[in-house]
Structure 1
Amino acid sequence: MTLWSETAQTVMAGDLVTVFAYGTPAGGVIAIPVSPTGLADRAAGTIGVTTSLAFSHKLRHILRDPRVAMAYHTREHGFGASAGDGFVLAQGVAAVGLTPSPARLAALAPQVARFLGDTPAGPFWDWLLREYHEQRVVIDIAVERVTEAPAPVPVLASQPPPSRGSTPRHDPAKLFRQVARLPHRVLAYRGEDGFPVIVPVRVTGHSAAGLLLEGPLPAGARRAAFTAHSFGPQAIGLSNRICTGWLDVTAGVAVYAPHTVGGFTSPPLRRVQLAVNGAMAKNGIRRARRDGTLEELARMTPVVAHHPDRPPNTAPGDG
C-alpha cells in the first residue's frame, strides 16, 4: 500500500533542507534542520537521513525511542519546487545503522553530491574530512503516516510543567530579534501516540512570557521545540535557532517560553563550512572513543515504543 502520493514523493525526494524531530525522555521533542539528500523510497515506504557518529546525543535519544518525524517545508534551493509550497509531514520508526557498510556509504555519495555539491579532494581534505565521511550513521525510517494536507488540530491533555518551572529561561525579546531574519519556522511536540508532530508557525511578536505564535497548535500546555532556520544553495550559509521550551495555548493565544536556545550562523563559503564540519566530527569521534560513548551506543538497542497501548518513556527532568 502506498503511503504517500506522487506529489508528496516529489517534495520528499527534492527538499534540500527539512526538519527532523525526535523525542526526549522527559516527554519533550527536539527538532533540528537536516539535509536528507533525497532519501525517500515511495515503493518501500521508507525515508532516511545520515548523520555523524560524533553527534552521539541525538543518537542516544533515537535509540531510546525510535519514533521520529520529518517535515518537508522549504522547497528552497532544492528539486521539488514543481510540487508547490505545501507542508508534508512524515512520521515513522527509525532504525539506526551505527556501522553502515562502505558499499552503502559509497552508494549514497551521488545523492549527497547532487544536493550538497562535490567535496574537495587532496591530502589535507582527505585527512580533515575522514571521520566526517567514514564515521557516518544511516537512519532508516519506516514510515507509518504521511500528512499532505492540513490535519485537524488534535485534542491533547496538558503535560505537567517542568520541575524548574515553565517560565522563559532565555530572553524572548532577544530570541525574537534572532528569528525575525530566519524565514523557515516550525514547532514540534509529542502527539498522543508518542510520535513527534511538526507544524509550521508564524511568530507575531513577543512578551515577557515568551514568543507569540500562530499556527495549528493544540490547546493546553506542553513541552515543545521551536526551530527557525535559513540556508543557501547546497545548504551553504546556514543559520538557525534550535529551542526547547514550554508552549501554552489558552483561549486561542499561543505563547512559547524558551528554555534552551542553541544554533549557529556560518558564512556562505563552502570550504569554510566543510572545514568546520570536518573538525567537529574529528574532535567528536576522538572524544566519543575516549569517554566510552561509542561502546555505549553499540550496547543500546531501540525500544519498541510505538504500540498505541504503551505510554511514551518518561523521566524527571527538563528536555
Structure 2
Amino acid sequence: MTPAPVRWPDAADPAIRGDLTVAAAYVTPAGGAVVTSVSPVGLGDREAGRVGFTTSLGFPKKLEHILRNPHVSLAYHTREHGFATTESYVLAQGTASVDLRPSPQRLAELQLASEPFFGKTKRGPIWDWLLREYHQERVFVDVGIQRVAVWPDLAARGTVTVTGADRPEMPTEQKPPKNGTDPRVDVSAVARRIGELPHRLLAYQGADGLPVIVPVAVTGHDDTGLHLDVPPGLLPSGGRRAGFLAHAFRPQCIGLGMRTLTGWLTVTDEGALYAPHTSKGLAAPPYKTLLTVSNGLLAKHGLRRARRDGTAEHLRQLAAGAAGARSEPPDARYR
C-alpha cells in the first residue's frame, strides 16, 4: 500500500519555494552521511509531498550512493540571496528516486524555474552549443517526503513542529572505524579553509535510516578536531560517522565556495567534537560569463567521461533496479 503524501506545512512553504541554496545529505554504506549544497530553484509538489533538486552525471558517486540507499534529506537553512523572508529552519526527510532521462518538457520547465534564481539564460549559437549538456543532461533527484520538521529560527533553536512521521529516538553510538577516530587531515588547515564560509552544517544517520542535518557553529579547534556548538537535543550522545559542510555563495550563485568533510563525531556532556577524516573543496569564480563558460565545459567533459568509462550505463542499471523495487513508478513531474 502506497503511503499518503506528506504535505509540508505553511511554515515551510516560503523556504522550500524561495531558498537559493540548501543542504542535501545522503547516507554511506558504513552508516555515515555526506552533506553538500544544492540549488533546488523552488522545485517541489506540495500536494504530492515531494521536494527535490537536480545534479549531473559529473557527480556519479553521489548518484550511486542515492540509488543504492535512497534515504535523503534537505535542509533549508539560509535565506541569503533567496526570496523567502521567514526565519524558519526546515528539514525535509524522505526517500529519493532518480530521473536519469527527464523529458524535454521537464527540462524546459526546469530552465524556466531557474531564471528567477540565476538570471536569464544566455542564448545564441555559441552559447546554445556550449550549454547544451549543462541544460539538457540534468539528473533529477525527487524526494518523497516522510517527515518535515520546522524550527522557529535558522539556528534550529526553540520548539520544533513535525509534520508526517514522528521523529525517532536518538540512534545508538556506532562502532569506531578500524583505522581509529582521530583526525586524518590537518585540523588547522581545515579550520582555516572554512573560516570564510559562514554556513556550517553537520549530518548523521538517524535511527530510522534518514539523514539528520543540523546547523552548527565552530567554537575552536585543536589537534583532536573541531569543537562545535549545537542546539540542545539535536545530536545523539556517543560516537558516530558524520558529514560536515561549510559553504558561502553570492547572488545567483555567481561566486561560491564549499568544503565538505567526512569524519567522526563525538558527543559527551562536555560538548561536541568533530574529527575530520577527509576534506574536499570547491570554488566558483564571481564572474557570470566565466562561471557560465566553466559550467558548460565541465558538463561536456563530465558527460563524455561518464559515457566513456561506463559510469552512465552503470547508473542507468542501478536506477532500473531501484525503480523495479518500488511498487509503482514516481510521478516525474513537479507542479
Residues 77/194 of structure 1: CA separation in 2 closer, same or farther (3 Å cut): same
Equivalent in the alignment of 2:186 = 171
- Tell me whether 1:262 sits opposite 2:280 in the alignment: yes
Greater relative contact order, per chain length (Cα 8 Å cut-off, separation 6+): 1
Residues 264/147 of structure 1: CA separation in 2 closer, same or farther (3 Å cut): same
Amino acid across the alignment from 2:275: A
Equivalent in the alignment of 1:213 = 228
Cα deviations by residue, 1:21-79 (Å, 9 ceiling, x for unpaired): 01111111111100000012222211011111222111101100111000001101101
Q: Which of the residues 76, 81, 85 maps onto 1:72?
A: 76
Q: Which of the residues 191, 216, 223 maps onto 2:241?
A: 223
**What's the offset of the Cα at 1:304?**
9.8
- Tell me whether 1:38 sits opposite 2:56 in the alignment: no
Q: Which of the residues 249, 252, 261 maps onto 1:243?
A: 261
Residues 162/305 of structure 1: CA separation in 2 closer, same or farther (3 Å cut): farther
Q: Secondary structure at the match of 2:177?
A: coil
User: 8 Å contact 2:170–2:206 — kept in the other structure?
Assistant: no
Q: Which of the residues 31, 42, 54 maps onto 1:27?
A: 31
Q: Which of the residues 197, 210, 219 maps onto 2:212?
A: 197
Amino acid across the alignment from 1:41: D
- Tell me whether 1:115 sits opposite 2:111 in the alignment: no
Measured in 2, the distance between the counterparts of 1:189 and 1:220 equals: 12
Deviating beyond 4 angstroms after TM superposition, the runs of 4 or more aligned structure 1 residues are 150-154, 303-306
Measured in 1, the distance between the counterparts of 2:183 and 2:131 equals: 39
Structure 2: runs of 5 or more not aligned: 161-166, 327-335
Measured in 2, the distance between the counterparts of 1:294 and 1:265 equals: 25
RMSD: 1.9
Measured in 1, the distance between the counterparts of 2:245 and 2:168 equals: 20
Structure 1: runs of 5 or more not aligned: 307-319
Report percent identity of matched pairs. Answer: 51
Measured in 1, the distance between the counterparts of 2:325 and 2:263 equals: 23
Measured in 2, the distance between the counterparts of 1:28 and 1:241 equals: 17
**What's the offset of the Cα at 1:303?**
8.3
Equivalent in the alignment of 1:57 = 61
**What's the offset of the Cα at 1:127?**
2.0
User: 8 Å contact 1:244–1:260 — kept in the other structure?
Assistant: yes
User: 8 Å contact 2:7–2:48 — kept in the other structure?
Assistant: no
Residues 303/174 of structure 1: CA separation in 2 closer, same or farther (3 Å cut): farther
User: 8 Å contact 1:15–1:79 — kept in the other structure?
Assistant: yes
Residues 17/183 of structure 1: CA separation in 2 closer, same or farther (3 Å cut): same
Measured in 2, the distance between the counterparts of 1:97 and 1:139 equals: 6
User: 8 Å contact 1:219–1:252 — kept in the other structure?
Assistant: no
Measured in 1, the distance between the counterparts of 2:22 and 2:324 equals: 26
- Tell me whether 1:188 sits opposite 2:200 in the alignment: no
Equivalent in the alignment of 2:322 = 302
User: 8 Å contact 2:11–2:88 — kept in the other structure?
Assistant: no
Equivalent in the alignment of 1:309 = none
- 1:81-96 equivalences under 5 Å are 81=85, 83=86, 85-96=87-98
Measured in 1, the distance between the counterparts of 2:311 and 2:168 equals: 39
**What's the offset of the Cα at 1:194?**
0.5
**What's the offset of the Cα at 1:200?**
0.5
User: 220-229 or 127-136: which moved more?
Assistant: 127-136
User: 8 Å contact 1:94–1:140 — kept in the other structure?
Assistant: yes
TM-score normalised according to structure 1 size: 0.91
**What's the offset of the Cα at 1:165?**
1.8
Q: Secondary structure at the match of 1:302?
A: helix
Residues 14/257 of structure 1: CA separation in 2 closer, same or farther (3 Å cut): same
**What's the offset of the Cα at 1:191?**
0.3
Q: Secondary structure at the match of 1:263?
A: strand
Measured in 2, the distance between the counterparts of 1:302 and 1:252 equals: 43
User: 147-156 or 122-131: which moved more?
Assistant: 147-156
Q: Secondary structure at the match of 2:284?
A: coil
User: 8 Å contact 1:67–1:305 — kept in the other structure?
Assistant: no
